[in-house]
Amino acid sequence: MMRTSTLRRVGAALGLSLALAAGLSGCGLKTPHVPFTGAKKVEPKIKGERIPVLSLNQKLEASPALKDIGFALGAPTAQANWPVSGGNAEHAIEHVQAGDQFKIAWRRKIGAGDSRTTRIIDQPVVSDGVLYVLDGKAKVSALDAASGKPIWSTDLAPHKGRDQEALGGGLAVDGGHVLMASGYRFAASLDAKTGKLEWKTETAAPLHGAPAIGGGRIYVVDTLDQLHAFDEATGVESWSYQALEEPARIEIASSPAIFGDLVIAPFASGELTALRASNGNDVWSYVLSLTNRNNALSEIRDIAGLPVVFRGQVIAASHSGVMASVDIKSGQPRWSQPITAISTPWVSGDVVFIMDLSGQLMCLSRESGQAYWIKSLNGPLRKKFRASWSGVILASNRLVAVSSKGELRGFDPKTGDKVASLRIGEGATLAPIAADGLLYVVTDQGDVVAVR
């Protein structure tokens, strides 16, 4: 998968990493032509007044109508496991009891972190007291979730052939099996107790995000915007669905949500598509895309955060500047807001929390999309070395986010005010997860930090 180094430097200032995924993996990571530069386009002169129909210059502000209106949150609930990306098939946990003391319990190195040729792009998973994590290559490690003690590790990275470097992939765990998707062009199943390889299925393109699991199948999207459905027991492909192919994507990976017989798949084209789990036939598709001619980065339409299914709604946000709630049966929008985000919305009770790309933490009405409050976690845009923020997760009555400067910060969910802070030593791009009373953060340097 080829990278654009210039875009990566720009993205780093915004807390963003970009990859140009032209169906390639295992190629030398050279510096390709930057597609968003060049001579300024001269627009033809037309008589009359120009009125922009769509613009990313729209700015969301707190709604005066909601100023004195309260809202309900889900109650904190013990979460024993976090078996898939997003915590469950719908990516809707609401409120988890974890991290009460906000102190580091343990730290463990898990392998390759972020570098020019490697990157950790998906969260770990937890099942039955074991934490499973994928490093920046293809090394899967199992750790005791309470202590961090290593149990086993399996390295599936190829050491010869074309695929020497790759980005992408993630894990899921189900029924004693660890399911793996890899940027090295394969899906695999490992024995959860031993790490022994059970099956491995090669794919034509690198697999980008973690597998979603439902109905005896695993679902994963590749870098050519194709959704694959594999039989969970054998690895045989059941069906595939090709969305509009998009050459530019965010390095952070998304995964489909599953609700009943529907698979809700996010794509780099900005398409949010519902498909029948049995055969891959599309039911509806809604595009989260808003193009601003003054901002080349808005041309990247990727839905990098997870889509969330909650009480008949599908809520998702794109890098192109659209966050929307869509009716799960019809695909018709309930509301849409001009929010640019690569993080997963967190839905609880009456509200949706989202961290936008500029580091603004927002609390929105789940029914209308209007904002209860908006808090900026960074200073002015011109300030050098601004932190990027990832998250959030609602844990023990705190909204928790992590920064690229190594800070884990807690916020009051009712007001957005800062209520807790913890230095974890290293920056992190991935939002925390929670299981059995602990928060887990994977840092960019390849460490797992557990917070009690």
Residue 19 inside a domain? The answer is yes
What pLDDT, on a 0 to 100 scale, did the predictor assign at position 175? 94
**Structural domain contains residue 43:** no
Q: Decide if 50 is inside a domain.
A: no
Residue 47 lies in a domain: no
Q: Which residues contact 449 (CB under 8 A, 6 or more apart)?
A: 104, 106, 107, 424, 425, 426, 440, 441, 442, 443
CA distance 174 to 76: 25
**Given pLDDT bands bounded at 50, 70 and 90, which one contains residue 56?**
very low
Residue with the bigger pLDDT between 247 and 362: it is 362
- Output the domain CATH number for residue 158: 2.130.10.10
Answer whether residue 45 shows pLDDT above 70.
no
Inform me whether the pLDDT recorded for 29 exceeds 70: no
Q: Can you give the pLDDT at residue 3?
A: 34
- Between 34 and 86, residue with greater pLDDT: 86
- Report whether 19 contacts 165 (CB < 8 A): no
Tell me, what's the pLDDT at 54? 39
Name the range with the highest mean pLDDT among 46-60, 242-256, 320-334.
Answer: 320-334
pLDDT value of position 43: 40
What residue numbers bound the domain in which 421 lies?
5-38+59-451
Of the two residues 378 and 445, the one the predictor is more confident about is 445
Mean pLDDT, rounded, for 348-355? 98
Is the per-residue pLDDT at 378 higher than 60? yes
Would you say residue 301 lies in a domain? Answer: yes
Angstrom distances, CA of residue 102 to CA of 146, 408, 440: 15, 9, 11
Average pLDDT, stretch 427-449? 97
The answer to whether residue 45 sits within a structural domain is no
- Joined together, the tokens standing for residue 137 give 């290559």
Percent of the chain with pLDDT over 90: 76
Tens of pLDDT along 141-183? 999 999 999 999 999 998 776 666 788 899 999 999 999 999 9
Task: Note the pLDDT tens digit of each residue in 427-437.
Answer: 999 999 999 99
pLDDT for residue 48 is more than 90: no
- pLDDT confidence of residue 248: 84
**Would you say residue 53 lies in a domain?**
no
Average pLDDT, rounded, for the chain: 87
* Per-residue pLDDT, 383: 56
Rounded CA-CA distance 319/7 in Å is: 14
How many structural domains does the chain have?
A: 1
Asked whether 163 and 25 are in contact (CB, 8 A), the reply is yes
Residue 406 located in a structural domain: yes
Asked whether 388 and 429 are in contact (CB, 8 A), the reply is yes
Q: What is the pLDDT of residues 91-104, one digit of tens each?
A: 999 999 999 999 99
What pLDDT is stored for residue 388 in this prediction? Answer: 93
